Amino acid sequence: MQRIRFRIVLPTIFGFLAVTLFTWDYENSRVIAAMGMGWDTGPPMWPYRAVELFSYAVNAPAYVISWPILKILNLRTFELQYAVWFPVILAWWWWVGRYIDFGLLGGRSYSHRRLVAGILLAGSLFLLLVAAHAAFEEYQWVRNYWQGHPPVYAFLFLRTIGPMLWCFFLAGAFVQAATRLLRRESPRALNPNGYRTCLYWVALLCINTTGIACLDRIFSPPADPNSCEADHLYRLGCVHGTVTDESQRPVGNLEVNLIPTFKQGDARWYATRSEWTDEEGRYKFNRIEAGQYILAVNSFEKSAGPDEIRPFASLYYQRAADESGAEPVMVNGASVTNLLPLKVRRLDVATLSVNVVWENGVRPERSNVVVHNTRYFGLLANAKQVDNGKGTIKLPRGFDYDANVSVECDGDKVIEQRESKPDQRITLTDLFSPPELTFVLPGSPCVLWKPR
């Protein structure tokens, strides 16, 4: 046993284990992301969670030490966090091996032994309280959310066992060192190169951290409002540009869609990216896979269509009215594509009077008008409230709309919703708009539901 150098053996063994677990976790995360499964919250015994939690259980102090480093780096390329964890894990197990080889306090002599021993005992008590707190919190969680299961299940979670065991280990080390001080026992011989080795590790950690920061800026450059973010690590490109009106003024808060033409059916629907322009009319699609796309404003597939706040007609890049005339947008690898300004046309907005009554002619105190543009997928607006049966709605011209009115009646234990049927078809041309819309609610007046 005297020939075993734990400060060498332990970092080697657990460093290899860390690399194995990191590799498995990295590849598994990529597979899950590619399959579109968001399994980030699940029982820890699931295979894809067990590896991550087991690594944390074994190396819990190293992860805690790494946390401030990761906060300082604020990595945009999250895979680089493995490069932070690995050297810290090696340093941690080197320290554990050094403790086993030479003792916690090494070969130092202390003039105030009782004071130092008291500090060590207080530290051990604090660590035991932390372990007890973690166990109690886990017990409460299982009791509240896993009713019907034995409370002992709380301690089977790797996220609890890891910190608890490390608290016990460190508390035991503190108690052992305090006992040796109080008994005035001679400490074990200290390796004369111990401090040099520690400084060597610190220097390597600083160099590693600096290198990670440089790589992060290369792989994921800092955000630039006038540009977009490509990913050189995974060869993902980006597209950015601006949206203006016909007077070349920027149009903000407008939905822009980037539609992949190399996908079909549901795959095309789910792969379509949507972004909103900022106050300067800028949009950006970051980290998108290579391929051919078309860019659109108020496209038929993803948007709700023009409304009174954003009364702009559908437009495909550059100035096409439909997808067949759109100019394709190519994304090649980690390229940055800057598109010419997209100039949208502002539509004229008509103001329509709304009249809402019950069958007996009484006006409801409160009702909601819902309007749907028949050419688009989504609702034009969630619901516009009309008070006392009289109000107005504003709709862009050039479309057909379906509209109805609903009220929510207070049925004591249930909320009864009544709607005017059938939907009214509204046709708005450049020259014509109906003078007034009248909606009749079925049945007799009811007591309206009010949020309590």
CATH number for the region 237-343 comes to: 2.60.40.1120
> Whole-angstrom Cα distance, residue 348 to residue 289?
38
Domain range summary for the chain, segments of one domain joined by +: 6-219, 237-343, 349-441
Kindly compute the dihedral angle of the four CA atoms of residues 144, 149, 151, 154, in this order, to the nearest 10 degrees: -80
- The 3-class SS string of 155-171 reads HHCHHHHHHHHHHHHHH
Mean pLDDT confidence for 308-325: 87
Same fold: 237-343 with 349-441: yes
Distances (CA, A) of 402 to 106, 308, 364, 366, 424: 82, 16, 21, 20, 5
* Residue 357: predicted pLDDT: 92
Nearby residues of 281 by Cβ (< 8 Å), 6 or more positions away:
242, 243, 244, 250, 251, 252, 254, 341
Q: For the ranges 222-236, 330-344, 422-436, which has the lowest average pLDDT?
A: 222-236
Mean per-residue pLDDT of the chain: 81
Nearby residues of 104 by Cβ (< 8 Å), 6 or more positions away:
173, 174, 176, 177
**Residue 202 — very low, low, confident or very high, per pLDDT cuts 50/70/90?**
confident
> Whole-angstrom Cα distance, residue 373 to residue 113?
82
Is the confidence at residue 42, as pLDDT, over 50?
no
The pLDDT tens digits of the residues spanning 50-71 come to 777 778 888 888 888 888 888 8
**Residue 354 — very low, low, confident or very high, per pLDDT cuts 50/70/90?**
very high
> Whole-angstrom Cα distance, residue 194 to residue 201?
11
Pick the CATH number of 349-441 from 3.30.1650.10, 3.40.50.300, 2.60.40.1120, 2.60.40.10: 2.60.40.1120
Q: For the ranges 244-248, 297-301, 370-374, 401-405, which has the lowest average pLDDT?
A: 297-301
Is the confidence at residue 225, as pLDDT, over 80?
no
